[in-house]
C-alpha cells in the first residue's frame, strides 16, 4: 500500500523532524534520524504548483469553508515552512499565465535559503496568491500539459533556456530565477554543494475530465536528454509504445461523523432538514462535508419564528480516502503523458550542475506528488501522480483539506535518507569438534530505520562465509562472491546471503521507502529477494519466515515458570493483535494475501542484540539465538534459516499494539512535538550469555542461554535449550517494569536496564567449582541519558555487580559500585585451572573494579562467596569520561593487562555534550597487579588515577617502536592516549590480539563515499601496540605505523570480533570489524587475517561458555 495523508487524520509528522524541540531520551539511533554529526548540506525544496483553473473552483467544496484549493495550498505551504527557518532552501514554480496556449512554467520564487528575510518575502507572495486567486495573473486556463511544466523544472535546475523562451511569464516572476528575463533561467545549484538533493513537491489539482495529453515536441526534448545521459526512453507522448505503466487502484473510503451543532435554518421535519442540508449548495455540503444528515434532536429553547419548525442537530460526514493499488497496471494509457517520465529521468540520471566537472555527481532530484481534490476526483489524474511519485523516488499523498495538505508537506520535509545498518557484531559458532576454532559461518543481525520515524523497522538475520579473494580474505555470499561494498561499508549490491531464494516481484508496489529495487546489473527481477544485497528486508531469515505457515510457528510466552503457546487464552490479548504478532497479514499489506498469510514486516530490527550461534554437534548442527524488536527472542536453524521457535515475554505485551498501529512516531532530537512522538520500543535488544557443555562424542549435553533486554527491560531470562526444538524456562529474575519496582524479584530492586551480558564461568569456592555462575553488571540507569557530562541521578539503579547461580538465578553475591555498570564484566582465570579467579568491571563514572574470588595472600586459595571482595583499582578524574564497555583483558604471569576506552555512544550528535563541551575521551591500557597488597601500592594508593602522568604514560602523541613499553617491571601502571578529534568517542569494546589492541570510535561529521548522502558520523578503527600505544597500521610489525583509519559507511561500527576459521580447509585467524592493518579501505563487516607476532602463553579468559572464543 502507498502512504497517504488522509483528510482530518494525521499519519505523519507535521512540520517534520527538522523542527527544534525539547530534548528527548538520548540514544545511539539518533544518528539516523534526529541529527547529524556536523552541519549538513541544506536540501533544496521546489514546490511546483498546478495553478490551472481547477485550483480556484468552488465545486471541490474545500475545508475550511469558503477556501478554494489554491488558497489552501499556499496557506499549507506557508504553515508547514513556518518552523524551518535556516534549515532548508525553498523555491516555487507555477504555470505561466499570460498566454493561454503556452504550457510553460515560471519561477515565482527562486530557490533560496529560508532565512527570516526570504521567508517573509515568500509569505508575502503566498498572501498575494491567496487574495487574488481568481485573477488572470494567478490562474492559467484549464487543461494544461504537465510535461512542459516539468521540462521547465529541469531547465531551471540546470540554468537552461525556458520553454518557448519564457513566453507567457507574468511580471510576478522572481528575477533571481533568471539570467535573462524571462528566457533563460539561473540555476539554483552550484558546484559548491554537489550533494544537495533537490526535492520537487508537485501539487496537482485534479480535473474531473482527466489529464491533458502531452505532445511530440515535449517528448523529443525529453527523449534526447535521456539518450544523452546513457538511458533508453520509455514510450513517450503522444502515442509511444512501452510507456511507464500506470498503477491501477481502488479507493478505500472510510467515514467519520462530526457534530456540527444545530442548523441555522428552521425545518418542519427531520427529513426536510436532511434533504436540504445534503444538497449541492447547502451550507453543510458547501462547508466541505461529503454527506450531511440531520438528527432527531432539536434545539431548546425554541428559537424559530414558526412554532411548527425547529433547528435540528446536524451531522457532517468526513470521508477518508485511500488509494490502494490493485497490483495491476495500465500499460497503454501512460503513453499520452510525460509527467512521470520527466520525474524518472531526473531521479535516475540526475541533473548536471553548473560549474561541476564531468566526474562530479549529477544533482539528484526526488519527486513527490500531492493529489489535491475533495468532491471531484480524476482516476487518470491519481494514477499518473502515483506513477510519478514511484518512478521519481518520492511518495504519493492524497489531500482533501488544508489540514491534510499541511500533513503531507510536513511528512515530505521530514523524510530523510534511510540507512541500512548493523550495530551488533558479527558472530561465528564454535566448532564442536575443535573448540579452539569457529565454523566458517558468519551471522550478522541487521536493521533499517524507518524513514518517516514510524516505530516498525525492518530487520533480518543473514548468514555469510569467509573466502579468499585476490590473496585476501573477505566476506563472501552463499555463491562465493565478494559480499562487501567497500564504498558504502555495507553489503554489496549483487551479494546473495544464505537461505535467500528468488521470489519474483514480491517487493514491488508495497509502498516501501526507500523502494527495495535491486540495482545489481543483470538481475532479471529487481523486486525479488535474490540477490538481497544491501536491502535489510530482503532474503535471509526474514524471507524464510515469510515462506512459512504461520499456524505452524512455535511461538511461546510465559505463564508462571512454564512456556505456553502465545495465544489469546494465555495472554488475554486481542485476537487480532495475537495474529498480527504471530506474523499474519491481517491488515492486508499485500492485497492478495489471505489473512493467515505472512506479512512482509514479519521480521523486526536487530539493533543491539548480537546473534549467538551455538554448535550442538553433528546431530543438531548450529542454532542461532537472537532478539528482534518485533517482540521476539528467536531460535533459527543455521542450516536452512528456518525458525525453530520464538518467545514473547509478558513484560513486553503492552508494546505490541504500537508495533501493529505503527504509531506514535519514534522520538528523535530536533523533532516537532505536535506528532506526540515517543521513544522507540525495544524488546530482547541485548546480547545473550551462554553455558554450553559437550560430551565425549562432541555433542552438546547442556545448553543454557541468558538473553538480556537492554532498553527493552530490567529482566534476565534463563532458558534450557539443550534440545534446540524444545526450550524450557529455567528461571527469570529482575523487575517487570521499566519505571518502577513493583513485583521485582527478591534482591533485584537495584537492577537497571539489562545491558550487561551474563557471562558464565566456574568458581572454585562455589559448589566445588562444578556449578556455573553468572557475573553481570547491574545495568543502565535512564538518568545517564541526561545531555550532561555530570548527570544528576537520584536513583541507584545499576550500581551493582551481580553474581548469580546459572542454574537457578539465585543471588550468590552483589557488589556495590559508584555508578551503573552497563558494560560486560570480564572474567579471568590466572592459573588456567578452569576456574575464575578474577572479574573486572567498569562503570559509567569512569571507574574500574576488580572482584577477587581467590586469596592472593594465600597462594590464590579459593574463597567462599562471603569472602569474595571488590576493590576499585582505578578511576578517571571526572571530565565526563564514561566507560560503557568493559575492559579487554590479557592475563600474563599473574598480571593482567586491561584495555578500554571512554565515551558515551548514547550521545553521538554534534548537539550533544561530548561535542559541545569538547569532552576529551581517551583510550587506556592499565596493568593490574592482583597479588599486590592494596596498602603498599608503589607511588600511590588505590584507586590509581588513570589520568595522572606520574602513574600513567601520556602517549597521546603517536609513539614509535622505541618508546618505553609497559611491562610488569614498569614503575608506571599503564598508558593513555587522547582521542584526537573533537567529539570522538570510543563506541566498542576493545580486542587484544597479537600484542595489539583494536577498537573503534565515532565522531560527528562525515558523508557517504562515492554518493551524496546524509552524514551519520565518522567511524574510525584503531590498531595500537598494547605495550606502548604505537600505531600498527601500514606496517608489518606491531608498532611504528599510524594508529587509525576511517571505516567506510561511518556511523557507529560494531565491535571487532576474533575467530579462527577454516578457510579452504586451513585454520585462519581473522578479526572482523577492525581497520585493515595494511592501510587499505576497511568496513565494519570486513575480515582480515591476523598472523600473531608474539606467542606468549596466556591465562584463560572466560567469555560465556566452557570453551574459549
Q: Does residue 79 share a domain with residue 179?
A: yes
Burial degree of 586 (CB within 10 A; 0-12, 13-18, 19+):
buried
Spatial contact of 774 and 766, defined as CB atoms under 8 Å apart = no
Residue 868 lies in a domain: no
Q: What residues pair up with 780 in beta bridges, in sequence order?
A: 753
Secondary structure (DSSP) of 952-1009: EEE--S---TTSPP--TT-SS-EEEEE--STT-EE-S--EEETTEEEEEEEES----S
DSSP H or E run through 491: strand 490-491
Widest CA span in the chain: 109
DSSP at 1056:
P
Q: Identify the pLDDT of residue 208.
A: 65
Would you call 226 helix, strand, or coil by DSSP? helix
Kindly state the cell numbers that stand for 170: 507574468
Q: Is 407 part of a structural domain of the chain? A: yes
pTM metric for this prediction: 0.69
Helix (H, G, I), strand (E, B) or coil at 538: coil
Please state, as a whole number, how many other Cβ atoms lie within 10 Å of the Cβ of residue 479. 13
Helix 69-81 × helix 402-414 angle, to 10°: 40
Same domain, 158 and 298: no
Annotate 827-865 with b (16+ C-beta within 10 A) or e (fewer). bbbbeeeebbbbbbbbbbbbbbbbbbbbebeeebebbee
> Cα 22 vs. chain centroid, distance in angstroms?
21
Q: 127 and 155 share a domain? A: yes
Residue 752 CA neighbour count, 13 Å, CB half = 29
> Based on the domain organization, do 155 and 303 belong to the same domain?
no
- Rounded CA-CA distance 155/563 in Å is 65
Q: Provide the 8-state DSSP code for 678.
A: B
Task: Please indicate, yes or no, whether residues 240 and 278 belong to a single structural domain of this protein.
Answer: no
- Measured in whole angstroms, the distance separating CA 163 from the mean position of its chain's CA atoms is 42
Are 131 and 164 part of one and the same domain? yes
Residue 839: its H or E element: strand 838-842
Residue 565 grid coordinates: 503457546
Domain boundary among 285, 301, 320: 320
Q: How far apart are CA 1025 and CA 1019, in angstroms?
A: 20
In a domain, 80, yes or no: yes
Taking CA 94 as the corner, what is the angle to CA 88 and CA 98, rounded to the nearest 5 degrees? Answer: 150
**Structural domain that includes position 300:** 255-320
Q: Let me know whether 129 and 211 are in one domain.
A: yes
The reply to whether 359 and 339 lie within a common domain is: yes
* Alpha-carbon torsion angle 412, 414, 417, 420, nearest 10: -120
* Residues 830, 763: Cα–Cα separation, whole Å: 12
Question: Do residues 302 and 365 both lie within one domain?
Answer: no
Q: Provide the β-strand partners of residue 1089.
A: 1070
Q: b/e string for 660-699 if b means 16 or more Cβ within 10 A?
A: beebebbbbbbbbeebebebbbbbbbbbbbbbbebeeebe
Number of folded domains in the chain?
2
pLDDT in tens, 672-724: 777 789 999 999 999 999 999 999 999 999 999 999 999 999 999 999 999 99
Contact (Cβ atoms closer than 8 angstroms) between residue 944 and residue 971: no
In angstroms, the CA 494 to CA 492 distance is 6
Q: What is the CATH number of the domain that holds 150?
A: 3.40.50.410
Directed axis angle between helix 146-158 and helix 339-348, to 10°? 30
15 neighbors 80 (Cβ within 8 angstroms): yes
Distance of alpha carbon 513 from alpha carbon 509, whole angstroms: 11
Name which of 506, 507, 510, 479 is nearest 492 in CA terms.
479
Q: What is the pLDDT of residue 266?
A: 95
Measured distance CA(203)–CA(323) in Å, rounded: 17
In angstroms, the CA 990 to CA 1000 distance is 8
SS3 784: helix
Which helix (H) or strand (E) covers residue 216, if one does?
Answer: helix 216-228
Contact assessment for residue 628 and residue 683, using Cβ atoms and an 8 Å cutoff: yes
Contact yes or no for 743/737 (Cβ under 8 A): yes
E strand or H helix that includes residue 389: helix 379-391
* Pairwise CA distance, residues 506 & 1014, whole Å: 29
- Residue 349 lies inside a defined structural domain of this protein: yes
Same domain, 174 and 278: no
**Is the bond leading into 64 cis (omega within 30 degrees of zero)?**
yes
Say if residues 485 and 477 touch (Cβ distance below 8 Å).
Answer: no
- Of 387, 414, 441, at which residue does a domain stop? 414
How many C-beta neighbours within 10 Å does residue 1108 have? 13
pLDDT of residue 955: 98
| Residue 180: cis peptide before it, omega within 30 degrees of 0 | no
CA distance 560 to 558: 6
CB count within 10 Å of CB 1020 equals 23
Beta strand extents in 284-338 (DSSP E only)? 291-298, 312-330
**Assigned domain for 731 exists:** no
**In a 3-state reduction of DSSP, which class is residue 706?**
strand
Residue with cell 607476532: 1093
CA-angle at 633, arms to 906 and 518, nearest 5°? 75
Yes or no: say if 686 and 709 are a contact pair by the CB < 8 Å rule. yes
The reply to whether 239 and 214 lie within a common domain is: yes
Q: Show the cell assigned to 579.
A: 495474529
Handedness of CA 237, 239, 243, 245 (dihedral sign): positive
**What's the sign of the alpha-carbon dihedral 99, 100, 103, 105?**
positive
Q: How far apart are CA 138 and CA 132, in angstroms?
A: 7
199 exposure class (CB count in 10 Å sphere: 0-12, 13-18, 19+): buried
- Last residue in a domain, options 414, 441, 464: 414
Pairing of β 246-262 and β 198-205? unpaired
Quote the cell numbers at residue 1027.
Answer: 605495550
Task: For residue range 2-25, list pLDDT tens digits in order.
Answer: 222 222 222 222 222 222 233 346
H helices of 440-562, in order, are 540-546
Q: What is the pLDDT of residue 328?
A: 65
Give burial (CB, 10 Å; 0-12/13-18/19+) of 503.
Answer: middle
- What contacts 323, CB < 8 A, 6 or more positions away? 2, 4, 249, 250, 251, 252, 371, 382, 386, 396, 398
- Residue-level pLDDT at 421: 52
Please report whether residue 445 resides in a domain: no
Closest by CA position to 12, among listed 677, 785, 906, 999? 677
Taking a C-beta distance cutoff of 8 angstroms, is the pair 775, 698 a contact? no
Q: Is 893 exposed, middle or buried (0-12, 13-18, 19+ CB in 10 A)?
A: exposed
Closest to 871 measured CA to CA, from 929, 831, 795: 929
Q: CA 640, CA 656: separation in Å to the nearest integer?
A: 28
pLDDT at residue 348 in the model:
80
Examine the domain organization and report whether 227 and 264 are in the same domain.
no
Continuous H helices in 444-526: none
Do the domain assignments include residue 379?
yes
Letter string b/e over residues 103-121, b meaning 16 or more CB atoms within 10 A of that residue's CB: bbbbbbbbbbebeeebbee
For residue 387, is it within any domain?
Answer: yes
In this predicted structure, what is the pLDDT of residue 420? 47
Counting as low any pLDDT under 50, the low residues of the chain are 1-24, 34-40, 415-420, 1007-1014, 1093-1109
Task: Quickly count: other Cβ atoms within 10 Å of residue 736's Cβ.
Answer: 18
Amino acid at each position: 500500500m502507498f502512504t497517504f495523508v488522509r483528510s482530518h487524520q494525521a499519519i505523519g509528522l507535521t512540520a517534520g523532524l527538522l523542527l527544534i524541540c525539547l530534548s528527548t531520551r538520548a540514544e545511539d539511533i539518533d544518528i539516523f534520524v534526529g541529527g547529524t554529526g556536523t552541519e549538513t548540506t541544506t536540501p533544496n525544496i521546489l514546490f511546483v504548483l498546478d495553478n490551472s483553473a481547477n485550483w480556484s473552483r468552488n465545486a471541490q467544496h474545500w475545508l475550511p469553508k469558503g477556501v478554494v484549493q489554491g488558497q489552501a495550498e499556499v496557506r499549507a505551504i506557508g504553515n508547514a515552512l513556518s518552523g524551518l527557518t535556516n534549515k532548508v532552501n525553498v523555491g516555487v514554480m507555477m504555470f505561466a499565465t499570460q498566454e493561454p496556449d503556452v504550457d510553460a512554467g515560471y519561477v515565482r520564487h527562486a530557490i533560496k535559503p529560508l532565512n527570516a528575510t526570504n521567508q517573509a518575502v515568500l509569505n508575502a507572495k503566498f498572501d498575494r496568491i491567496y487574495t487574488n486567486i481568481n485573477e488572470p495573473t494567478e490562474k492559467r486556463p484549464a487543461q494544461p500539459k504537465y510535461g512542459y511544466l516539468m521540462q521547465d523544472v529541469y531547465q531551471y535546475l540546470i540554468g537552461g533556456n525556458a520553454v518557448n523562451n519564457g513566453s507567457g511569464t507574468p511580471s510576478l516572476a522572481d528575477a533571481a530565477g533568471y539570467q535573462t528575463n524571462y528566457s533563460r533561467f539561473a540555476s539554483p545549484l552550484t558546484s559548491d554543494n554537489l550533494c544537495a538533493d533537490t526535492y520537487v513537491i508537485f501539487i496537482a489539482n485534479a480535473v474531473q475530465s482527466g489529464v491533458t495529453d502531452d505532445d511530440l515536441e515535449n517528448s523529443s526534448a525529453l527523449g534526447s536528454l535521456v539518450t544523452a545521459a546513457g538511458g533508453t526512453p520509455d514510450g513517450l507522448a503522444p502515442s509511444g509504445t512501452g510507456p511507464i505503466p500506470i498503477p491501477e487502484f481502488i479507493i478505500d473510503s472510510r467515514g467519520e461523523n462530526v457534530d456540527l451543532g444545530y442548523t441555522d435554518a428552521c425545518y418542519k421535519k427531520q427529513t426536510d432538514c436532511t434533504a436540504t442540508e445534503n444538497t449541492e449548495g447547502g451550507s453543510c455540503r458547501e462547508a466541505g462535508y461529503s454527506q450531511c444528515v440531520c438528527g432527531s434532536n432539536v434545539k431548546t429553547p425554541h428559537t424559530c419564528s414558526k412554532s411548527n419548525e425547529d433547528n435540528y442537530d446536524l451531522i457532517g460526514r468526513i470521508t477518508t480516502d485511500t488509494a490502494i493499488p490493485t497490483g495491476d497496471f495500465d500499460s497503454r494509457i501512460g503513453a499520452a503523458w510525460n509527467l512521470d517520465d520527466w520525474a524518472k529521468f531526473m531521479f535516475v540520471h540526475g541533473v548536471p550542475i553548473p560549474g561541476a566537472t564531468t566526474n562530479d555527481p549529477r544533482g539528484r532530484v526526488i519527486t513527490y506528488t500531492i493529489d489535491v481534490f475533495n468532491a471531484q476526483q480524476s482516476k487518470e489524474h491519481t494514477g499518473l501522480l502515483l506513477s510519478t511519485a514511484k518512478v521519481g523516488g518520492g511518495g504519493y499523498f492524497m489531500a482533501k483539506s488544508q489540514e491534510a495538505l499541511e500533513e503531507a508537506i510536513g511528512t515530505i520535509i521530514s523524510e530523510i535518507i534511510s540507512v541500512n545498518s548493523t550495530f551488533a557484531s558479527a558472530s561465528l559458532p564454535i566448532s564442536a569438534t575443535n573448540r579452539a576454532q569457529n565454523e566458517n559461518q558468519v551471522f550478522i543481525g541487521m536493521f533499517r530505520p524507518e524513514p518517516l520515524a514510524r516505530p516498525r523497522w525492518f530487520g533480518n538475520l543473514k548468514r555469510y562465509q569467509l573466502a579468499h579473494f585476490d590473496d585476501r580474505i573477505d566476506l563472501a555470499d552463499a555463491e562465493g562472491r565478494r559480499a562487501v561494498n567497500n564504498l558504502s561499508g555495507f553489503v554489496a549490491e549483487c551479494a546473495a546471503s544464505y537461505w535467500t531464494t528468488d521470489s519474483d516481484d514480491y517487493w514491488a508496489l508495497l509502498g516501501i521507502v526507500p523502494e527495495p529495487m535491486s540495482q545489481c546489473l543483470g538481475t532479471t527481477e529487481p523486486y525479488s529477494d535474490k540477490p538481497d544485497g544491501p536491502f535489510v528486508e530482503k532474503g535471509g531469515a526474514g524471507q524464510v519466515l515469510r515462506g512459512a505457515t504461520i499456524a505452524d510457528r512455535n511461538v511461546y510466552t510465559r505463564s508462571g515458570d512454564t512456556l505456553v503457546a502465545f495465544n489469546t487464552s494465555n495472554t488475554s490479548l486481542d485476537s487480532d493483535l495475537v495474529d498480527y504478532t504471530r506474523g499474519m497479514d491481517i491488515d492486508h499489506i499485500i492485497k492478495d494475501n489471505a489473512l493467515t498469510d505472512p506479512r512482509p514486516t514479519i521480521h523486526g530490527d536487530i539493533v543491539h542484540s548480537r546473534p549467538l550461534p551455538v554448535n550442538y554437534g553433528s546431530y543438531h548442527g548450529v542454532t542461532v539465538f537472537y532478539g528482534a524488536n518485533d517482540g521476539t527472542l528467536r531460535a533459527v536453524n543455521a542450516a536452512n534459516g528456518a525458525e525453530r521457535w520464538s518467545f514473547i515475554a509478558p513484560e513486553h505485551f503492552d508494546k505490541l499494539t504500537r508495533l501493529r498501529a505503527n504509531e506514535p512516531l519514534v522520538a528523535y532530537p530536533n523533532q516537532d512535538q505536535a506528532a506526540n512522538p515517543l521513544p522507540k520500543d525495544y524488546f530482547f535488544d541485548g546480547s545473550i550469555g551462554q553455558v554450553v557443555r559437550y560430551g565425549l562424542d562432541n555433542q552438546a549435553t547442556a545448553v543454557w542461554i541468558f538473553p538480556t533486554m537492554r532498553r527493552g527491560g530490567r529482566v534476565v531470562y534463563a532458558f534450557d535449550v539443550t534440545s534446540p526444538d524444545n526450550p524450557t524456562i529455567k528461571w527469570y529474575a529482575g523487575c517487570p517494569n521499566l519505571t518502577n519496582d513493583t513485583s521485582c524479584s527478591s534482591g533485584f530492586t537495584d537492577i537497571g536496564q539489562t545491558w550487561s551480558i551474563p557471562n558464565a564461568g566456574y568458581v572454585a569456592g562455589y559448589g566445588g567449582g562444578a556449578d556455573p555462575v553468572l557475573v553481570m553488571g547491574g545495568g543502565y540507569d535512564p538518568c545517564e541519558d541526561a545531555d550532561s557530562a555530570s548527570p544528576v541521578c537520584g536513583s541507584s539503579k545499576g550500581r551493582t555487580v551481580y553474581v548469580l547461580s546459572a542454574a537457578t538465578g539465585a543471588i550468590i553475591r552483589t557488589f556495590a559500585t559508584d555508578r551503573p555498570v552497563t558494560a560486560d564484566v570480564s572474567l579471568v582465570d590466572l592459573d588456567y585451572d578452569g576456574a575464575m579467579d578474577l572479574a573486572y568491571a567498569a562503570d559509567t563514572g569512569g571507574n574500574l573494579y576488580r572482584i577477587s574470588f581467590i586469596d592472593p595472600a594465600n597462594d590464590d586459595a579459593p574463597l567462599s562467596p562471603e569472602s569474595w571482595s571488590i576493590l576499585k583499582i582505578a578511576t578517571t578524574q571526572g571530565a565526563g569520561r564514561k566507560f560503557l564497555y568493559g575492559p579487554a583483558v590479557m592475563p600474563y604471569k599473574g598480571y593482567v593487562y586491561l584495555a578500554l576506552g571512554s565515551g558515551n555512544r548514547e550521545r553521538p550528535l554534534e548537539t550533544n555534550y561530548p561535542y559541545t563541551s569538547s569532552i576529551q575521551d581517551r583510550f587506556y591500557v592499565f596493568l593490574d597487579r592482583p597479588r599486590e597488597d592494596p596498602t603498599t601500592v608503589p607511588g600511590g594508593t588505590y584507586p590509581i588515577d588513570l589520568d595522572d602522568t606520574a602513574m600513567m604514560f601520556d602517549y597521546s602523541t603517536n609513539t614509535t617502536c622505541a618508546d618505553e613499553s609497559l611491562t610488569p617491571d614498569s614503575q608506571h601502571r599503564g598508558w593513555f592516549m587522547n582521542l584526537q578529534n573533537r567529539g570522538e568517542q570510543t563506541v566498542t569494546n576493545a580486542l587484544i590480539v597479537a600484542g595489539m589492541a583494536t577498537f573503534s570510535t565515532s565522531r560527528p561529521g562525515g558523508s557517504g563515499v562515492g554518493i551524496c548522502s546524509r552524514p551519520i558520523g565518522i567511524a574510525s578503527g584503531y590498531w595500537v601496540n598494547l605495550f606502548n600505544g604505537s600505531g600498527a597500521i601500514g606496517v608489518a610489525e606491531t608498532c611504528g605505523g599510524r594508529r587509525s583509519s576511517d571505516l567506510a559507511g561511518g556511523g557507529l561500527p560494531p565491535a571487532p570480533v576474533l575467530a579462527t576459521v577454516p578457510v579452504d580447509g586451513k585454520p585462519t585467524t581473522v578479526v572482523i570489524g577492525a581497520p585493515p592493518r595494511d592501510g587499505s579501505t576497511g568496513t565494519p563487516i570486513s575480515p582480515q587475517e591476523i598472523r600473531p607476532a608474539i606467542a606468549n602463553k596466556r591465562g584463560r579468559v572466560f567469555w560465556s561458555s566452557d570453551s574459549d572464543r
